[in-house]
Structure 1
Amino acid sequence: MLQTPGGTTPRLTKTSARRLATALAVPLLIASATACGSEDGSENGAVPSVTGATDKKPKVAKGEGKPPKELKVKVLKEGSGKKVQKGDSLNANYHGQLWNGKEFDSSWKRGQPATFQIGTGKVIKGWDEALVGKKLGSRVEMVVPPSKAYGKRGQPPTIPANATLVFVVDMEKVLPSKIDGKPVKGDHNPELPKVSTKVEKDKAPEVTMPKGVEKAPDKLLEETVVKGDGKKVKKDSTVLTNFTAKMWKGGKQLDDTWRQGGPQEIPVDKIPGWAEALEGKKAGSRVVISVPSSEFPKKQRKQFGSGVVFSVDVLSVK
């Protein structure tokens, strides 16, 4: 699940037991508070062998002997694209396994690359240190010691405590990390929370819930507060988005991609209300969506009885 160790979040997707958007997220890369270590990218000893063509799922040998105590980074194929910079939203395919060869995660198994913000502490330290400065199109192998991964806590049940991790990453492209639309002038719908039009790369907009209102309106409502001029969203589109979500009752925070792995690619039909509310909206927009409990599957209606409000930044559409 896409969360920091020990965290939990209600399930809002229609068909998945993962959190809001996590069929497409980076489930095991979210940053963990661990001790720091120094990088050693010049030595390639103790790095397991990798076979297979770039753009295909690699076959990675299990580690031999004792795992290295320092971060090991090896460029298996150098790309010709631009260098990835801190704060970029990197779109990449990746394979992850334990030092003993046991696979714990693979974007190839999920059928498409994942997107995450690199170099800003949103993912484990080993990724931040290994991938910033590498060129797009590269295939990079890294051996990540516990001090730059999940340390003593691990990431149960897939990653044990003090685990050394081995990754192979195909760095595909950099995607937009913030919207570029213009604030919409005019009256605000008083039935909806007020959402700031200020656009920040690393921070969700302020969402002010209406005073004294503890339940969402009975029908699905949406309002565009920042209007972009990019590609239009269709009901079967996948959007690259940053979003924040709150319960109507008490304004309880449910999710915030700015605080997690950064922008994520999400099919709009995977989250209740999104397909209808976002249809026709353009990339570069910020849309406020109020979803009543009736829009959720029956098993989830009690859990989200007051309804949910989303502020969705549409970064790109495909």
Structure 2
Amino acid sequence: MRRIAVLLPLLAIGVLAGCGGSSSSTAKPVVKVSGAFGQPPTIKIPAEKAGGSLTVKTLIHGTGPVLQRTDAFVGNYAIYIWSGTSHRLAQSSFTAHRPTLFAGQLLPGLETALIGQKMGSRVLAVIPPKDGFGTSGNPQAGVKPTDTLVFVVDMMKDFKANASATGTAESNGGKGLPTVTAVNGAAPTIKMPTSKPPATLVTRTLIKGSGPAVTKGQMVVAQYVGAIWSTGKVFDASWNRHQPFNFTIGATPTQVIAGWDKGLLGQTVGSRVMLVVPPADGYGKSGSPQAGIKGTDTLVFVVDVLGAFST
């Protein structure tokens, strides 16, 4: 459950919708890219005006799963803004050491470039305005209506819309804690007990994953359901959005409530974890009125840890 929404304007280039669309083509002038997968690419953009067609090139052919339209994936990217005969680097997760989760609706040109590619691929997409932000551009990101965008994307790991924990079942809760039931690939159901909630944070591993332990500073990909102990009401769930959620654990400033930072640290990838979060480790005395959470509410989360990536 995100406490602080962090969406930088330049990062939004990769996850906001534009308008229009066209098929992939090869056109001059030619953008040249070199470098190994996972390493910052060297990108050479000619000192001339960009062509008007969408250009897509698979620079490195991966051998992993094929990206489907409903999938999300973790990847690294570099973005250049090509304006007239000049260009500038807008943002690079390679140099920032921050892979990102590509989820939701992409720019039309970027979607065309990436759908059908295999994980492990490096893809170049030269996206003209009609396949990017259209006639409005994106002033917040410094993109004019006439600017062409150049993306180089390394596709690391895909996640299905219904991705869930994959480990060994250990518990379903109970014994004074909520009881959790679930079918693989579907949102868990949380049944609250009639007893009072615990006064301190409780972490219970329901499914033990076989992956590496989550460490501070990693970008974590997760599915979750959040409910209020006193009413049993579900106030948020990534499952309802049909895409996983990502955050950096232990970030400064924090990206999630303290109960997540504390309770998920050290959990292994593939695990399903129940977090019983008192107000002090949740939204504090102010609560979260927009979510229907009072300052006295204890929250219950069931979190599936799908992946953890070093930044």
TM tier, smaller: 0.5 to 0.7
> Which of 74, 81, 91 is residue 98 of structure 1 equivalent to?
81
Aligned partner of 1:5 in structure 2 is none
Matches of 1:46 and 1:253, distance apart in 2: 51
Matches of 2:171 and 2:74, distance apart in 1: 34
> Which of 50, 53, 59 is residue 35 of structure 2 equivalent to?
53
| Deviation (angstroms), 1:232 | 5.5
Q: Is the 8 A contact 1:239 1:268 kept in 2?
A: no
Change (3 A) 1:107 1:310: farther
Change (3 A) 1:53 1:252: same
2:21 aligned with 1:37: yes
How do residues 155-170 of structure 1 correspond to structure 2 at under 5 angstroms? 155=138, 157-158=140-141, 160=143, 162=145, 164-170=148-154
Aligned partner of 1:4 in structure 2 is none
How do residues 88-127 of structure 1 correspond to structure 2 at under 5 angstroms? 89-100=72-83, 101-116=87-102, 122-127=105-110
Give the counterpart letter for 2:200 in structure 1: K
Q: Is the 8 A contact 1:123 1:261 kept in 2?
A: no
Q: Is the 8 A contact 2:138 2:144 kept in 1?
A: yes
Matches of 2:198 and 2:139, distance apart in 1: 39
Q: Is the 8 A contact 1:89 1:262 kept in 2?
A: yes
> Which of 286, 293, 296 is residue 272 of structure 2 equivalent to?
286
Q: Percent identity?
A: 23
Q: Is the 8 A contact 2:129 2:148 kept in 1?
A: yes
Matches of 1:220 and 1:187, distance apart in 2: 15
> Which of 262, 268, 283 is residue 276 of structure 1 equivalent to?
262
Give the counterpart letter for 1:198 in structure 2: V
Counterpart secondary structure, 2:123: strand
Matches of 1:232 and 1:140, distance apart in 2: 28
How do residues 286-305 of structure 1 correspond to structure 2 at under 5 angstroms? 286-295=272-281, 302=286, 304=288, 305=295
Aligned partner of 1:144 in structure 2 is 127
Change (3 A) 1:212 1:149: farther
Counterpart secondary structure, 1:99: strand
* Cα-Cα RMSD: 4.4
| Deviation (angstroms), 1:278 | 2.9
- Per-residue Cα deviation, 1:182-228 (whole angstroms, up to 9, x for no partner): 55555536654x6552333xx7x256585999x98542133344x13
Unaligned 5+ runs, structure 2: 289-294
Q: Is the 8 A contact 1:238 1:266 kept in 2?
A: yes
Give the counterpart letter for 1:84 in structure 2: V
Change (3 A) 1:303 1:44: farther
TM-score by length of 2: 0.67
Aligned partner of 2:222 in structure 1 is 242
Matches of 1:85 and 1:67, distance apart in 2: 27
| Deviation (angstroms), 1:94 | 0.7
2:295 aligned with 1:315: no
2:203 aligned with 1:222: yes
> Which of 150, 155, 160 is residue 171 of structure 1 equivalent to?
155
Change (3 A) 1:80 1:258: same
Aligned partner of 2:292 in structure 1 is none
| Deviation (angstroms), 1:169 | 1.6
Change (3 A) 1:160 1:212: farther
Matches of 1:308 and 1:153, distance apart in 2: 42
Q: Is the 8 A contact 2:99 2:219 kept in 1?
A: no
Give the counterpart letter for 2:27 in structure 1: N
2:258 aligned with 1:267: no
Change (3 A) 1:103 1:307: farther
| Deviation (angstroms), 1:230 | 0.4
Give the counterpart letter for 1:91 in structure 2: V
Aligned pair count reads: 285
Unaligned 5+ runs, structure 1: 1-9
Matches of 1:144 and 1:238, distance apart in 2: 31
| Deviation (angstroms), 1:286 | 1.7
